[in-house]
Structure formats: C-alpha cells, structure tokens
C-alpha cells in the first residue's frame, strides 16, 4: 500500500468515526485524515477532544495543540459529553429527510410514517437536526457508561462500516436521485481507494455519471426551438379539448421540424 494511504488509515483509526463534519470536512473523518496528511492541523476533531488531538500529534511527531472546543462539557475521559438524538415521534410528519442525512443509518421509518432513532447506533452527530422541517429532533446526554479503549475501537469499526455502507448506497442512488440532497458531496474516490485496501470494509465503487454529448445550441436555434415547443404545447392543449384536422396537421408538421432541428443540434 502506498505510504500516504497507510498514514491516512492510521490517522482515521484514531478519529471517532462520528462523521459529523465539525472538523470542517463535511464528508467525514477519512477526508479529514487525508487533509491532515497534507498538512492540516490535527486538533480539529471536536468530538475527539484533547485525547484525539494528542494521539494524532504523537503519531505524526508534531507539537501538541489545544483541541477545538466543544459546546458540551468534558467527560471524565477528556472527551466532550457524548449525545444522542431523539425524535419526538408524535410531531414527526414522516418526511424522511433525516434518513439520508444520518451517516450511520441510525434512523428507521418510511414516507408519511413516524420515524425512530435506533439509540444504540446514534452518535449524536446532529446531522439529522437541520433538515427536519418541523424541528422535532432533540439531543439528550448519552447516559451509557463511557467506553474503554477496546470498546471504543470496536465501536469506531462498526461506525466506519455503517458509514461506508451508507456511502455505497447513496452512490448507487446518486445518479437517479429525485429527492433533496441533504448530505455533503462525498469524495467517493478516496473512500473507494481505502476500501480496496481492506477486506473488512464494505467495498465502495464509484458510479460514473453517464455523459451525454454536450448540447450546444447557437442563439438562433435556441430561440427557434423554444418557439416551436411553445406552439406544440398550445396545439396539444387545443387538440386535447377538441379534435381538428388542420390543427393536427400543423402539430405533425411542427413535431417534424422540432426533431429535425434537434437532430441538427443535439
């Protein structure tokens, strides 16, 4: 494996895998790990707090920096208080926007039905809160015992897997997506590269967007096309109310003209 990819993975192994974007990398921990290798300061992971900033400084043999502060109090392990999101289910309108925002697929529900957060899986990343149109998601303190190092590594592994599976699913949907995009644009090539190095991670394949021949119309053709389309629409509307041989003839003629023009231009 190339040395920079290996270092990215070592850094990523230290990062909490909350995928919250608070470090400034909206598409998650791995892009921040890459940016650290490229020279960015290693103290920006907010949920990781001082322990993560120090562990990274040690790994990279860089001076220790004060970690970016969190809005939450600091727990006994030196990291900010862990949080969980909870949906006030009686207020939820089932719009599904929170589902695609959740990087670890911790929300279940379907269109027009009440949604629920699987509390064990929720990392409190807060990414589901802004897209909720009725503001029915609250954050509460996580009252579970603070994990030890071994538990944390295992939890991070699970979150990484869930996030990569989420990316793979989103990537497959990307081209045919009809609904709103509530997550950051994801650097799928970086994720794909990393998953090729590891059998433990769900493989991410980059789906190529089908490239159509670019349509370049000169101004005259564009105006002509617009005129013909408007006339066609008008005639179609009239013909849908009452049949008329002359109008039908005009419509056929215009459709022919349109396809000739499009054939020339597209």
Q: Which residues bind ligand SF4 (CB under 6 A)?
A: 15-16, 18-23, 25, 28-29, 32, 45-48, 85, 87, 92-98, 101-102, 104, 106-107, 109, 115, 117, 122-128, 131-132, 134, 136-137
Query: Buried (b) or exposed (e) across 26-59, using 16+ Cβ within 10 A?
Result: ebbbbbbbbbbbeeeebbbbbbbbbbbbbbbbee
Q: How far is the CB of 196 from ligand SF4 (least distance, A)?
A: 21
3-class DSSP assignment, residue 117: strand
For ligand SF4, the closer CB: 137 or 254: 137
Read out DSSP for 56-111?
Answer: HHHHHT----PPPP-SSPB-TTSSBPPEEEEE-TTT-----HHHHH-TT--EE--T
For ligand SF4, the closer CB: 82 or 115: 115
For ligand SF4, the closer CB: 34 or 254: 34
Q: How far is the CB of 75 from ligand SF4 (least distance, A)?
A: 15
Give the residue ranges of DSSP H helices in the chain.
3-14, 29-37, 49-60, 97-101, 149-174, 188-196, 219-241, 245-265
Sign of CA dihedral 136, 137, 140, 144: positive
Q: How far is the CB of 221 from ligand SF4 (least distance, A)?
A: 44
For ligand SF4, the closer CB: 44 or 228: 44
For ligand SF4, the closer CB: 48 or 228: 48
Q: How far is the CB of 36 from ligand SF4 (least distance, A)?
A: 9
């Amino acid at each position: 494996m190339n040395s920079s990819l290996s270092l990215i993975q070592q850094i990523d192994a230290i990062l909490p895998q909350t995928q919250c974007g608070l470090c400034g990398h909206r598409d998650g921990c791995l892009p921040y790990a890459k940016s650290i290798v490229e020279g960015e300061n290693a103290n920006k992971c907010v949920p990781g707090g001082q322990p993560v900033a120090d562990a990274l400084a040690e790994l990279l043999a860089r001076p220790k920096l004060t970690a970016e502060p969190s809005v939450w109090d600091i727990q006994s392990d030196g990291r900010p208080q862990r949080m969980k999101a909870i949906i006030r289910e009686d207020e939820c309108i089932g719009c599904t926007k929170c589902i695609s925002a959740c990087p670890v697929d911790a929300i279940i529900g379907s269109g027009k039905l009440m949604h629920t957060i699987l509390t064990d899986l929720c990392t409190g990343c807060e990414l589901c809160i802004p897209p909720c149109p009725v503001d029915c998601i609250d954050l509460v303190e996580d009252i579970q015992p603070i994990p030890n190092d071994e538990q944390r590594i295992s939890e991070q592994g699970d979150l990484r897997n869930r996030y990569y599976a989420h990316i793979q699913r989103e990537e497959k949907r990307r081209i045919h997506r009809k609904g709103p995009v509530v997550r950051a644009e994801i650097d799928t090539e970086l994720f794909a590269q990393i998953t090729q190095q590891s059998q433990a991670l769900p493989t991410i394949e980059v789906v190529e967007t089908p490239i159509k021949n670019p349509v370049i119309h000169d101004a005259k053709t564009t105006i002509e096309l617009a005129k013909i389309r408007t006339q066609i629409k008008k005639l179609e509307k009239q013909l849908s109310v009452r049949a008329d041989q002359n109008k039908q003839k005009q419509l056929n003629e215009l459709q022919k003209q349109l396809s000739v023009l499009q054939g020339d231009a597209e």
